[in-house]
Amino acid sequence: MDAQTPSTKTPVGRLEDCGAYRRLVIERDLDHGATDVWEALTRPDELQAWIGTWWGTPGAGQTVMFQMTAEGESTEPVEALVEECLPVESLRVTFASDRVVWRVGVELAPQGSARTHLRFVMRVHDDEVVSDIGPGWEYYLDRLAAALAGEAMPAWEDYYPAQCAYYGALEPIEVHEPFVPAAHGPGPEHLPGEPGSRRTA
């Protein structure tokens, strides 16, 4: 698939202007309860099914190591500071390596007992990179949905470079809701999703 070939996936992300910085926002409606989605985001084994894994001492205010495992080849682990961890509600993490710092957040809103609205947010320092990172996060969020459903993973070619033009052409939308993490959430004894922490929906 080349850049002119239409994608079979429809990109839905938007770029928001918060004044001092901008943020990429991508949302999904998932046919799974919030607890199941939360565990897919936080349990190392379930996380590995769609993006990567982590190890260390978890909890709000803690730094763990994260390694991407879905790229088809080994990648170097990076430090991940858990800025906020509110069980089955929100998770905000800052990833830092010697090359880049990524500040991302995920918020979950239950839609009844069997559906969840997911809002992914990433702080953007350079608009030019949106055309690259937008398709990538669309891809990984669809991998999350596929992992939850036990379905085959989507094809990378349906996202990159197929969605680059969409993201490269995004015009920022002015908003008045800055993406500033709250004080560390009520740090649980372990990150929700670790063995022994399963909650009922």
Q: What domains can be seen in the chain, in order of their start residue?
A: 14-174 (3.30.530.20)
C-beta of residue 121 within 8 angstroms of C-beta of residue 107: yes
Please report how the helices 34-42 and 130-149 are oriented relative to each other, as an axis angle in degrees rounded to 10.
120
Torsion sign (Cα): 40, 41, 43, 48: positive
DSSP letters of 86-122? Answer: ETTTEEEEEEE-SS-EEEEEEEEEE-SSS-EEEEEEE
pLDDT digits (tens, 9 = 90+) for 21-52: 899 999 999 999 999 999 999 999 999 999 99
49 forms bridges with which residues in the sheet? none
Say yes or no to pLDDT of 145 above 70.
Answer: yes
Quote the pLDDT of residue 147.
97
Say yes or no to pLDDT of 125 above 90.
Answer: no
pLDDT band, residue 7 (cuts 50/70/90): low
Say yes or no to pLDDT of 196 above 60.
Answer: no
Least Cα distance to 100 among 150, 55, 136, 148 occurs for: 136
pLDDT band, residue 100 (cuts 50/70/90): confident
Quote the pLDDT of residue 127.
79
Quote the pLDDT of residue 142.
98
Give me the mean pLDDT over the 84-98 stretch.
93
